[in-house]
Amino acid sequence: MKMHRFEEIWLIFAVVIIVGSMVITGYQAFALGMGPPSGKEVIDPQKVDETAPFDNPGVFEVGDKEYEVVMTLQAFSFDPGEIEIPAGSTVHFKMTSKDVVHGVQIVDTNVNAMVPPGHIQTITQKFDEPGEYLILCNEYCGTGHQLMSATVTVK
Amino acid sequence: MESAVNQSFVQKTSERTMKFLGTNPKDAKLSLTFFAVSFVALLIGGFLGLLQGLERAGVITMPAWFDYYQTLTTHGILLILIFTGAFLIGYLYAGVSHTLGGLLPKVRKMGWISFTLIVIGTVVVASQILIGEASVLYTFYPPMAASPWFYIGLVFVVLGIWVAAFGVFINVANWRKRNKGQHVPLFSYFATGIFILLFVGTLGVTYEVLTLIPWAFGWTDTVNVMLSRTLFWSFGHTLVNVWYLTAVSAWYVAVPRIIGGRQFSDTLARAVVFLLVVLNVPGGFHHQIVDPGFSEGLKFMHVFMSLSIGFPSLMTAFAMFAMFERAGRKKGGKGLLGWFKKLPWKDVRFLAPFIAMATFIPAGAGGIAQTNFQLNQVVHNTLFITGHFHLTVGVSVALTFFGIAYWLVPHLSKRVMTPLVNKLAIWQVVLWTVGMAFMSGAMHTVGLFGAPRRTSFTTYNESAQALGWDPYLILVAVGGTLLLVSVVMVVCIVFHLMFKAPKGETEFPVAEVEDDAAPTPKWTERWSVWIVLMIAVISMGYVIPLVDLVMNAPPGSPPFKTW
């Protein structure tokens, strides 16, 4: 099969796009620690309320300007529903679902993760700019899905 | 010597093609029946799409007895399963009949069985959504549980698709036995690849659905949520690529003939088919990049598997424009871009697939971008994704299907498209393109701002961030309105071509290879090799996560009805 030189150049360009994507994505994920949320812990989805730490959801200070948010998601709310932290804080979210599959997204940040029942999802975000951030459920979870939201207030 | 053999083979096929021009009437009836169902599904699904757009923008409020999520579930299933599925079978059966000299009587019967199963399945599924027992959307993620009849209906649809697939396998195998040493005509090669992909791609989801039925009946207590989700996506993305490959078949087979050109390269076209078949199934995993339960390393391998599907598409991009240039220059196009003007812009059979291809450039680029980890995390489950697949499936696939219908329907009904109808069809295509540009453009933009997909009208307690999305949602509704006008037009034109247009002969365009084309190597026909490679790639992608999901599974989930 003879190939035109332009076709060869084009296909090399195609390979460069793919390899380039892999290099950049891989570098960001493994060298800069910007990999996607990939919590590996599991939990009995029918016993969330009795299992630590989800028996006590809330915002916990774990260091200087560093917080852990233990959060449960259920149709159609987040618990805790209001989070207040000082500007410049780093927040580690630890989340699980008590019923169906939910998704958590914080608008204007890179927080975006799936939270299916039975799994514990984790994601970290630093909040520099003061303001009110909207947390919303971005996986359809039932008739009240559009009402499922919470807020992060950064002071 | 070899090229002389190839030459006579080409002549023989084109003679055979000529002899059977006007597809066997019994086969034509089968395909037309599929098209009727397909375009009725488009009409209903499109109408529901508009209602959704209007509700999401806050213009109307859907009644409680048929709310936004019922609308959305029906819209998704009708358009991504039934419109496309029925069209695919009608089109591929007509083409197989045309290029292989008629369907075997047995296969024709299988076609009708497939039709019956799909219609029964669709009616059962739709009835469950209508009575409010299945507002689970097209993805039906457990532990949200629909009525068991919803899943049983889906099984019928899948069985219908399988019967159609095996019909084509039997017909092609029979032809190969009767024509030893010859290449299966390119169209039927595409049909084989498409149905292999569709069959293998539906295996995982079928297993999922079979575990959901006893669970929804209450015979089993719990279900493995992440296993179900992973099996679903082994199917979910493969399915859209099946529609895409079907559109591509028309780009390679019919479009060159329509513009008075020749095939760019038979070997390349076949390579695109088997590459898409071999590489496709693990591609669906990129829907799970922000899921828990999988390591980053595994996800990284899947980024590569998803991106690799881009390669055959980039091959296609080159082949198409090279073919256009050749055809344009043959017609006397001079200079760097003179050939471009020589293309038949006023022929809807060309215009529709051309816009479809051109749209695949931004659509494919968006796809490559959002497969990468960090970019995926920005847009996952936002309206950006909805905008993306309204470009890929909603334009690249749908417009190609319309372009096909504009010659295939009159070909099958032994009628012709008049210049006036051609002009109307051009307006239909233009309206569709403008409507989608508004809708998809606004969805992409507002998705980047964070507006979630699959969510009815909401202000999230007057959140300032969410209120900023409203102007874009209005644009989505404007696009949707234009699209519905276009849907009504295409449905009217198709039924006009089926029953009312003047009698006559319309060609089934099948492009021939260039006179000096190199012969296609024999290895392209080795489906056994491609299937083994396909299984190898699927195993690479799925053995580790599936074993992990089963062995290290958390306790399962009981069914929930949250609507």
pLDDT at A1: 54
Cα A124 to the center of its chain, rounded Å: 8
Query: A3, A94, A123, A140: which to substitute to probe chain B, counting the most B Cβ within 10 Å?
Result: A140
pLDDT at B283: 83
Which residues in chain A are contacts of B299 at CB distance < 8 A? 35-36, 38
Rounded CA separation A37/B291 (Å):
7
| Inter-chain residue contact B229 with A34, CB threshold 8 Å | no
Got the DSSP string for A47-113? GGGGSTTTTS-EEEEEETTEEEEEEEEETTEEES-EEEE-TTEEEEEEEEESSS-EEEEETTSS-EE
Say whether pLDDT at B19 is over 70.
Answer: no
CB-based burial label for B3 (10 Å; 0-12, 13-18, 19+): exposed
Question: What is chain A's Cα-based Rg?
Answer: 20
Q: CB contact, 8 Å: B532 with chain A?
A: no
pLDDT at B485: 97
Rounded CA separation B264/B267 (Å):
9
Rounded CA separation B252/A137 (Å):
43
Report residue B434 as tokens: 């403008």
pLDDT at B11: 44
| Inter-chain residue contact B135 with A143, CB threshold 8 Å | yes
pLDDT at A2: 65
Amino acid residing at B383 = L
| Inter-chain residue contact B372 with A145, CB threshold 8 Å | no
Say whether pLDDT at B490 is over 50.
Answer: yes
Report residue B496 as tokens: 């006009």
Report residue B173 as tokens: 């195998």
pLDDT at B172: 96
| Inter-chain residue contact B380 with A112, CB threshold 8 Å | yes
Report residue B290 as tokens: 């922000």
Name the average pLDDT for chain B: 92
Give the pLDDT band (50/70/90) at residue B264: confident
| Inter-chain residue contact A118 with B556, CB threshold 8 Å | yes
| Inter-chain residue contact A143 with B67, CB threshold 8 Å | yes
| Inter-chain residue contact B455 with A4, CB threshold 8 Å | no
Query: A101, A110, A147, A151: which to substitute to probe chain B, counting the most B Cβ within 10 Å?
Result: A101
| Inter-chain residue contact A7 with B307, CB threshold 8 Å | no
| Inter-chain residue contact B454 with A44, CB threshold 8 Å | no
Can you tell me the mean pLDDT for B60-89? 94
| Inter-chain residue contact B295 with A18, CB threshold 8 Å | no
Q: CB contact, 8 Å: B562 with chain A?
A: yes
Say whether pLDDT at B24 is over 90.
Answer: no
pLDDT at A5: 86
Q: Does domain A45-154 have CATH number 2.60.40.420?
A: yes
Say whether pLDDT at B335 is over 90.
Answer: no
Q: Whose CA is closest to B258, among B375, B157, B403, B368?
A: B403
pLDDT at B450: 94
Higher pLDDT, A32 or B23: A32
Cα of first residue to Cα of last residue in chain A, in angstroms, is 66
Beta strand A66-74 with A89-97 is parallel
Amino acid residing at B446 = V
Say whether pLDDT at B4 is over 80.
Answer: no
Domain boundaries, chain B: 24-511+530-551
Domain boundaries, chain A: 1-35, 45-154
Q: CB contact, 8 Å: B288 with chain A?
A: yes
Q: Does domain B24-511+530-551 have CATH number 1.20.210.10?
A: yes
Which residues in chain A are contacts of B455 at CB distance < 8 A? 138, 140, 145-146
Q: CB contact, 8 Å: B528 with chain A?
A: no
Say whether pLDDT at B20 is over 70.
Answer: no
Q: CB contact, 8 Å: B519 with chain A?
A: no
Rounded CA separation B453/B443 (Å):
9
Q: CB contact, 8 Å: B293 with chain A?
A: yes
Can you tell me the mean pLDDT for B237-245? 92
Which residues in chain A are contacts of B380 at CB distance < 8 A? 103, 112, 138
pLDDT at B514: 84
Lowest-pLDDT range of B7-21, B112-126, B412-426, B503-517: B7-21
Give the pLDDT band (50/70/90) at residue B25: confident
Can you tell me the mean pLDDT for B453-470? 92
pLDDT at B23: 67
| Contact present, B153 and B122 (Cβ < 8 Å) | yes
Q: CB contact, 8 Å: B307 with chain A?
A: yes
Q: CB contact, 8 Å: B294 with chain A?
A: yes
Can you tell me the mean pLDDT for B181-191? 93
Q: CB contact, 8 Å: B324 with chain A?
A: no
Provide the chain B residues 1-40 that lie in CB contact (below 8 A) with chain A: none
Identify the bridge partners of residue A93 per DSSP, sorted by sequence position. A69, A123
| Inter-chain residue contact A14 with B307, CB threshold 8 Å | no
